Amino acid sequence: MTEQVEPQFTSRILKVGCQYYESRAKEKDRRFKTRQVPYLRLCGDWLEAAGLKVGQNARVIVTRRGIVIAAEE
């Protein structure tokens, strides 16, 4: 049986980057124009320590104050 590793930190500071999306708007003046959208990339041993395993589903809950990511059982 694999031993559960406790996360070393309870919070992280991440830099929000950007990714470019091509608009699929129905209005002709907005169609195919690119726009910036916020982008976060998460990776590291700390995710496994928090209960997330490779290949497992994770639920993302969006609230007005932030985002919660939880491992699906």
Tokens standing for residue 4: 């559960």
Mean pLDDT of 42-59: 92
pLDDT band at 73 (very low <50, low <70, confident <90, very high): confident
pLDDT number for residue 52? 93
Q: What is the DSSP secondary-structure string of the chain? A: -PPPPPPS-S------EEEEEE---SSTTTTT-EEEEEE----SHHHHHTT--TT--EEEEE-SS-EEEEE--
Q: 63 lies in which domain range?
A: 17-71
Mean pLDDT of 43-63: 93
**Cα(38)–Cα(40) distance, rounded to whole angstroms?**
7
Over the stretch 5-44, which tens digit does the pLDDT of each residue have? 665 667 888 899 999 988 777 777 777 778 899 999 999 8
Per the structure, how many domains does the chain have? 1
